[in-house]
Amino acid sequence: MRIADAQWIPATQHQTWDALLDPEVLQKCLPGCVKVERRTPTEYALAIHATVGGMDADYEGEILLSDLNPPHSCTLAFEGKSETACLAIGTAQVTLSPKDHGTRLAYTVAAMAGGTLGKVGEPALMKAGGKLVGKFFAAFIDHMAKLPRTAPPPEPEEPERGLAASRWSWLAVAAVVLVILGYHAFYK
């Protein structure tokens, strides 16, 4: 199963990025989400109750983030397991860019299902996946629209390089000059 689309988010790019990584926002916006827990800066655990193809199931899963390029893009891998429906796994590419005083969030999701869930068939999985994504974005856009817009954080300053960057380097230059002057004064 593959889903690719884009959404316009009524918030700045950095606010959208921060919200996508916030466990509280994710728990609030993911349909059927019971919990989202950030284990590390790039690993999340979650529990979701979902109905797919008429099958109710509780899923425990993980999301792993990689290729982080804040606030522009990331890749995520996800896995969900259920005792009754078996397994769902996949990856997603997410790209954020400024657009019309907001953020364009483009995504491509590729997923597979196994076990009883896999037997439901791709059309039913596509329909359920589309509904899940649609409900998530409706809630996420509504959440983001309620937030006041904030300016992006300032870019970090480039550290100075070369002799101007260090007092010790100037001290070394001064010592060399004094040695040369002292040599010429006392030995010539």
> In the prediction, which pLDDT does 115 show?
82
pLDDT at position 182: 58
DSSP 63: E
Question: 81 forms bridges with which residues in the sheet?
Answer: 60, 87
Give CA 162 to chain center in angstroms.
Answer: 36
Structure confidence by residue, pLDDT tens digits, 86-139: 788 999 999 999 999 999 999 999 988 888 877 878 888 888 888 889 999 999
Give, for all 188 residues of the chain, the pLDDT tens digit.
888 999 999 999 999 999 999 999 999 999 999 999 999 999 999 999 988 777 788 999 999 999 999 999 999 999 999 887 678 899 999 999 999 999 999 999 998 888 887 787 888 888 888 888 999 999 999 999 999 988 777 776 776 665 555 555 555 666 666 666 655 566 55
What pLDDT is recorded for position 174?
Answer: 60
Q: What is the pLDDT of residue 185?
A: 60
Long-range contacts of 17-23 (CB under 8 A, 24+ apart): 17/70, 17/71, 17/96, 18/71, 19/140, 19/143, 19/144, 19/147, 20/94, 21/65
pLDDT at 124: 80
Task: Give residue 70's pLDDT.
Answer: 95
Q: In terms of CATH, what superfamily is 2-146?
A: START domain (3.30.530.20)
Point out which residues pair with 59 in neighbouring strands.
Answer: 48
